[in-house]
Structure 1
Amino acid sequence: MIWTVDPTAAEPLYAQLAAQVHVALSRGDLSTGDRLPSARELADSLDLNIHTVLHAFQQLRDEGVIELRRGRGAVVTAARPPGMAEVKTALSRYVEAGRTAGLPAQALITLLKEALRS
């Protein structure tokens, strides 16, 4: 898994990291039992403060996605977040409806972002 962050994005860095785990889970790139890099390794590789990475890991733990094991790191405990299949199906219908209506991809993204904010 390739980790990236965009320091210029409005989304906090810890949230960007957590979102990447969710995306990897939804794609099947991560599965139950997989280990994430240590917080120190990830912080060093992305030039982040370790507390930023730990914040992301704690959020994922609170969501039930990973388990934090002292001395062993973060281990994926949920292969897919609950309801992911239903959301993926709904998003596919959303994209198809947008294409049918002739909307460009950027318009669909803007509409989705607005819906997430409300």
Structure 2
Amino acid sequence: MYYVYPLYYYPACYHHASRSVRQYSSVDPDLFQQSANETKKIMNDANVIIDELAESQTFHEKLMQAAQASDQNEVNRLIHSLDIATEVDVSFNPDNLRLEFRSKTADTNLECCRLLIALRWR
């Protein structure tokens, strides 16, 4: 049996002479910093809701009963009764609760950040 070994190796992609340098735009951290600050506010509001769910037996029982009965108005009322400033979209089914917090920057009114929390009870 004979084996033929290659004498030379040629890489499939070889660009020694023509390396391109990508030009990036200048960095402006203002929007990024605003997004981080808005996210801190969102997380504080989310923490208010999570604390209430974790500590108040009557609150989470009312919320679960309303969700299992598909009472969107009551679920929204319960969530928004907790003194939160952030816009929150509430969706649910008989098994879980989903809270999606959204915020916009004050300067540009662009949506800058979202926080999604999904909690199961079954």
| TM-score in same-fold range (> 0.5) | no
Q: TM-score, normalised by structure 2?
A: 0.24
Which has the larger helix fraction?
Answer: 1
Highest CA radius of gyration, 1 or 2?
Answer: 2
